[in-house]
Structure 1
Amino acid sequence: MTLPLVLPITLGAVAAAALINIWLSIRCGQVRTAEKVSVGDGGNDKLIRRMRAHANFNENTPIVLVLIAALELANPGSPALAVVAGVYLAGRVMHGLGMDGGSFAIGRMIGTLITLLTLLGLAIWAIMSAMA
């Protein structure tokens, strides 16, 4: 088997993840500016929520991206892997928006479920690929 020189699914997922990370960072900065909080969270609930959304993204996304890359190497050109990557990233956006509370608070739960199911599914897929 010849390994691909380019991992298009992984590259797309990493690029999208970078953009989501920037977006989550900007959302924190907007609250910092509006509430005049330079360091830490200042006890501001909205800033705490946005900081946690950003941190949660950075806690989960690296392992998902590693799993996507490893699985793409093991299964080049997998349409299912591309779908999983897209669903995961959409879930992270829903989580980020849902962390604000309000009318889309359910986005937090949906994003969390998508994240956990993605991690579980990718882990099982990786184990099965390793055993094949």
Structure 2
Amino acid sequence: MLLITAIIASILTIIFVKLSFAVIGLRRKNKVGLGSGGHDDLERAIRAQGNFAEYVPFGLILIACLELNGAPWWFVVLPGITLIIGRLIHVKGIHEPPPNFSNRVLGMKFTFGTLITLVVLNLGWSLYGLVA
């Protein structure tokens, strides 16, 4: 069972839905059906949602692989928490007008660090499983 992955995925999905509602609200407010219509607030919301959608699936797949392959619970929980934190920091940085590049960079450092860690954990755990 993927109990830990289910919790992490649920939290991330709540964040994604909130980001999606922000885009929808700004599209209605600015009367823009496609693209950003030159509205900076809408452009930031679109990119926050898009960036989230681009990176989170890889993290969730790797987290699920660890859990399915029987890795210790903390191998699954800790990267999940750091992925959530990284994504929240990035969203905060991208939404602050003018965009707060330090938070965006920090959020991406958390995200990339988590993804790279998940790759290493998955490779290491898989090789350990093959040898043991």
Counterpart of 2:35 in structure 1 is: 40
Aligned-partner Cα distance in 2 for 1:38–1:107: 29
| Cα RMSD, aligned residues only | 1.7
For 2:59, the equivalent position in structure 1 comes to 64
- Candidates 91, 100, 116, aligned match of 2:95: 100
Q: What does 1:108-123 correspond to in 2, within 5 Å?
A: 108-123=104-119
Match of 2:70 among 63, 71, 75: 75
CA contact (8 A) 2:66 2:75 kept: no
Bigger shift: residues 97-106 or 32-41: 97-106
Residue 3 of structure 1 is matched in structure 2 by none
- Which structure 1 segments of 5+ residues have no match? 1-5
Partner Cα separation in structure 2 for residue 26 and residue 94 of structure 1: 18
In structure 2, the partner of 1:87 is 82
Contact 2:89/2:106 (<8 A) preserved? yes
Q: Is the 8 A contact 2:93 2:103 kept in 1?
A: yes
The secondary structure found in structure 2 opposite 1:99 is: helix
Find the residue that maps to 1:124 and give its secondary structure.
helix
29-38 or 56-65, which deviates more: 29-38
Where 1:42 maps in the other structure, the secondary structure is coil
Determine the structure 2 residue equivalent to 1:129: 125
TM-score normalised to structure 2 length: 0.87
Deviations for 1:95-125, whole angstroms, at most 9, x for unmatched residues?
A: 1121023487232122111110001000011
Aligned residues: 127
Q: Which runs of 5+ in 2 are unaligned?
A: none
The answer to whether the aligner puts 1:55 opposite 2:35 as a matched pair is no
**Sequence identity percentage:** 30
Q: Does the aligned pair in 1 maintain the 2:75–2:121 contact within 8 Å?
A: no
Paired residues of 2:22 and 2:45 also in contact (CA < 8 A) = yes
Mapped partners of 1:101, 1:34: distance in 2: 18
